[in-house]
C-alpha cells in the first residue's frame, strides 16, 4: 500500500510537470516563436505578418489584461502592458509609409527588435514576455498544484525510505 501511495504522489508531480512543459511548448508555438521571428524580420511587411499571428494568439487565449503573479504583483508580470506594447508596435508598422526611406524602415525595425527582445542574464537574447505567461490565467492553480505535488511526492518517498535508513 505504501508503494502504491508513493507512486500516485510521484505521478501527481509528473502530471504537474507535464502540464507546465506542454503549456510552455504551446505558448512558444503560438506566440513566443512568432514574436522572435518578428524581431528578426528584415522587412516591415514580414514583421507585421509575424506580429499579427502572435497578437491573434494573445487575443484568442485572453492574454490581454491582468498579472501573472501568484503572491505579489511586479511590473514585469503585467500582461496588459505587454499586450498593449506589442499592439502599439504593429500599429506603428502599419503607419509606415510605403514611400519611407530605407533609414526610416531600418530604424523602425531596430525599435521593434528592442521592444520584443531583451538580453538574458548570460548575455543570451530572449523574447520579452511576462514571467509565467504560458500558464496564464491558471498561474495560482498551477502554483498550488506544484507546491502540493512536491510536498506529497516528498512524503511518499519518506514513507518508503524510513529516515533511519537514510542517515
pLDDT band (50, 70, 90) for residue 135? very high
Q: How many CB atoms lie within 10 A of CB 81?
A: 14
- Is the pLDDT at 165 greater than 70, yes or no? no
| Cβ atoms of residues 145 and 138 within 8 Å | no
pLDDT for 53 equals: 98
Q: List 118's β-bridge partners, or say none.
A: 126
Mean pLDDT of 110-135: 93
What span, in angstroms and rounded, lies between the C-alpha atoms of 79 and 71?
A: 16
Q: Which residues contact 7 (CB under 8 A, 6 or more apart)?
A: 156
Query: Looking at 107-116, 128-137, 154-163, which range is the least confident one?
Result: 154-163
pLDDT digits (tens, 9 = 90+) for 52-108: 999 999 999 999 999 999 988 999 999 999 999 999 999 999 999 989 999 999 999
pLDDT for 108 equals: 97
User: Measured on CA atoms in the order 53, 57, 60, 66, is the torsion positive or negative?
Assistant: negative
- Is the pLDDT at 167 greater than 90, yes or no? no
Q: E-assigned strands of 39-148?
A: 117-119, 125-127
| Cβ atoms of residues 80 and 66 within 8 Å | yes
Q: Which residues contact 35 (CB under 8 A, 6 or more apart)?
A: 50, 51, 54, 86, 116, 127, 128, 129
Q: List 19's β-bridge partners, or say none.
A: none
Q: Residue 31: how many CA atoms within 13 Å on its side-chain side?
A: 24
| In the chain, where the domains are located | 2-166
Query: Looking at 11-20, 24-33, 83-92, 118-127, which range is the least confident one?
Result: 118-127
Amino acid at each position: 500500500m505504501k508503494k502504491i501511495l508513493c507512486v500516485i504522489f510521484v505521478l501527481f508531480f509528473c502530471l504537474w510537470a507535464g502540464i507546465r512543459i506542454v503549456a510552455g511548448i504551446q505558448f512558444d508555438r503560438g506566440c513566443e516563436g512568432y514574436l522572435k521571428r518578428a524581431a528578426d524580420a528584415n522587412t516591415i511587411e514580414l514583421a507585421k505578418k509575424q506580429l499579427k499571428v502572435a497578437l491573434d494568439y494573445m487575443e484568442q487565449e485572453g492574454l490581454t489584461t491582468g498579472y501573472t503573479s501568484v503572491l505579489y504583483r511586479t511590473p514585469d508580470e503585467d500582461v496588459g502592458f505587454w499586450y498593449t506594447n506589442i499592439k502599439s508596435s504593429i500599429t506603428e508598422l502599419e503607419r509606415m509609409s510605403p514611400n519611407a526611406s530605407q533609414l526610416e524602415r531600418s530604424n523602425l525595425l531596430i525599435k521593434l527588435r528592442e521592444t520584443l527582445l531583451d538580453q538574458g542574464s548570460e548575455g543570451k537574447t530572449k523574447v520579452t514576455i511576462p514571467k509565467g505567461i504560458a500558464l496564464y490565467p491558471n498561474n495560482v492553480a498551477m502554483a498550488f498544484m506544484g507546491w502540493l505535488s512536491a510536498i506529497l511526492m516528498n512524503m511518499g518517498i519518506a514513507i518508503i525510505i524510513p529516515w533511519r535508513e537514510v542517515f
